[in-house]
Amino acid sequence: MERAEYCNNVNADFTVRIHADGNNDNNISGIHILYPSGKHTKSINNTSKKAAELMLEELINATGAKKAWSDGLSPRSDLTGFNWAKKPVALPELGFMSNANEDKKLATSSYQDKLVTGLANGIDKYFGVDYNYFSPTKNIPLYKHMTGSATIGTLYKSEEFPIITDEFVNWYKVKFGNTFRYIKKANTKGVSTIKNSHLSTNRVPSKTFTAKTDLFVKENITGKQKTIGTINKNFIFPTLKELDNWFQIEFSGRIVYVWKKIQQCSTKDAFYLVLNSYNHEIKI
């Protein structure tokens, strides 16, 4: 009751009570979120449930964990922390300490980071924050298709990239050269703004190069060079501009560079046309 009264007194817009669960059956694992559903909380039941649904979705996306019980949502009318609340509230159970494997995972900083990302993204969605960009929380692979089987490059941790579309549950579509590719939403966080100098200007590529080795993608070519990702060996990539030692390219929606001498690339006068949403490509 004290926690509910404290949040009432500070006029909190939304309360998140973070817990870890336990059960006599040590095989049970996963995430579930409790929310108020009693007669004393009618004014906040629906909004609390909506917040719980959004947090659960983002927690599953960020961690890859499964939902505990049937749908991962647990309506409750017997908790004083709920029944005395005047504003929406939810209680995420982030895993089962009674499950040895999950308990070990919960104790790692890497998994805790994923949990924090999921919670933050879910809360942002509840408050209507609309992100146009994302930032990886670890180095993540770029995939040719949404099968998760063919990787074509890597996006580096803490870099920022535009989202082309957020229409898929577990995937972002991103710009990659003159076509589109995909990254898993897990291990990413939403970003509100990005430096305009990083963004693509939608210029039409005039040539392509073939990477003879895995390539480091650089944000800049003067001063201390910063690597933001990689392009896999044997991948054919369109160029925006050819400089003395560099190719300027569009990489996941950003204007960046790869060094010609390292890659020992071959070039051809060509470009790629995107025929439809499935990104079939024809080399002209």
Whether pLDDT at 67 is above 90: yes
Which of 86-100, 132-146, 168-182, 198-212 is least confident? 198-212
Kindly state whether residues 157 and 83 are assigned to the same domain.
no
97 to 29, 42, 72: CA distances (angstroms): 9, 32, 17
Kindly state whether residues 32 and 121 are assigned to the same domain.
yes
Kindly state whether residues 146 and 90 are assigned to the same domain.
no
Provide the domain limits for residue 116.
Answer: 2-126
In the block, which residue shows the tokens 């895993």? Answer: 95
Kindly state whether residues 174 and 270 are assigned to the same domain.
yes
pLDDT at position 261 is: 66
Kindly state whether residues 176 and 284 are assigned to the same domain.
yes
pLDDT at position 278 is: 30
Residues 6+ apart with CB under 8 A from 44: 36, 85, 86, 87, 88, 89
Give per-residue pLDDT as tens, 21-59. Answer: 999 999 999 999 999 999 999 999 999 999 999 999 999
Whether pLDDT at 262 is above 60: no
pLDDT at position 179 is: 83
Q: How far apart are CA 105 and CA 110, in angstroms?
A: 9
pLDDT at position 264 is: 47
- Number of structural domains (the chain) is 2
What mean pLDDT do residues 260-271 have? 50
What mean pLDDT do residues 136-140 have? 92
Confidence band (pLDDT; 50, 70, 90) for 200?
low
3-class DSSP state for residue 29?
Answer: coil
- The CATH number of the domain holding residue 18 is 3.40.630.40
Whether pLDDT at 192 is above 90: no
pLDDT at position 112 is: 93
